[in-house]
Amino acid sequence: MTLVFVFILTIIASFIQRVSGFGFGIFVMMFFPFFLPSYGESVMLSGLLAGSTALMIALRNWQYIRWNLMGRVVLFNVVASYLATEYMSSLGNDIMKQCLGVVLILIALYFLFGEGKMGRIFKSKLAQVTIGSLSGVMGGMFAMPGPPLVLYTISTIDDKREYVTTLQAFSVVMNLCYTLFRFNAGFYSENTWLWWLVGLVGAIIGSSVGARCFERISNRTLKYIVYAMMIISGVVAIV
């Protein structure tokens, strides 16, 4: 049943990622911690699959990547994620699930009521350092580096394809680093790689379907559905 759940959830998450540019980790981390053996394994698998999905999307659309926006953000992201991963290894599963619940609710509330209202502050060098660090902490501890990066890229990129593809490039580089950090911290088991292979098939299916819907589906409608699920899952995780 674990393999079935991983397969189905990855199809849905990769579809969301392909259509909206982010959301893979947000979606799967609503479920992984509740049926995988440990929180650490959940974060590890989420990062592996998110990075794999992003790599498939980025390779198909590499000409749209805005490399000039990535340097400083990636650097501080990697440093912060390493520190966050090391700190996470000292915490218990229950504490991490409750922290995850709070983060899910805060992210959902921000995007529901604040998205698009703070774009101007994300264009300075200081903002890039702040965004990179915050994204690194969220990526290292919760496998959710995306929300701060969405705020940054959506305020600096106007083209829809450049926005989505640049986010995938961010995800590939960062999740590669996260995986190394988590591997070093022992957040894996003998089943992790089997789950990843099964999820990879789901990612191929989900991203392929998402690519066909990319021009048709309303991003805002999809986001509202994801945010509502985040709030519900956050409440469940806290309780």
H helices within the chain, ranges in order? 2-20, 24-28, 32-35, 39-60, 71-88, 93-113, 125-142, 146-156, 160-185, 192-213, 219-238
What does the pLDDT read at residue 9? Answer: 94
185-223 burial by CB neighbour count: b if 16+ within 10 A, else e? bebbbeebeebbebbbebbbebbeebbeebeeeeeeebb
Residue 49 confidence (pLDDT): 93
Q: Name the residue among 198, 203, 200 with its Cα closest to residue 3.
A: 198
Per-residue pLDDT of the chain (239 residues; tens, 9 = 90+): 889 999 999 999 998 888 777 778 878 888 888 888 888 888 899 889 988 988 988 888 888 888 887 888 888 988 888 888 877 766 666 676 677 677 767 777 776 676 555 555 556 677 788 888 888 887 777 777 777 777 777 777 777 778 788 888 888 888 888 888 888 878 888 888 999 999 999 999 998 888 787 767 666 666 666 667 667 666 766 76
pLDDT at site 194 = 93
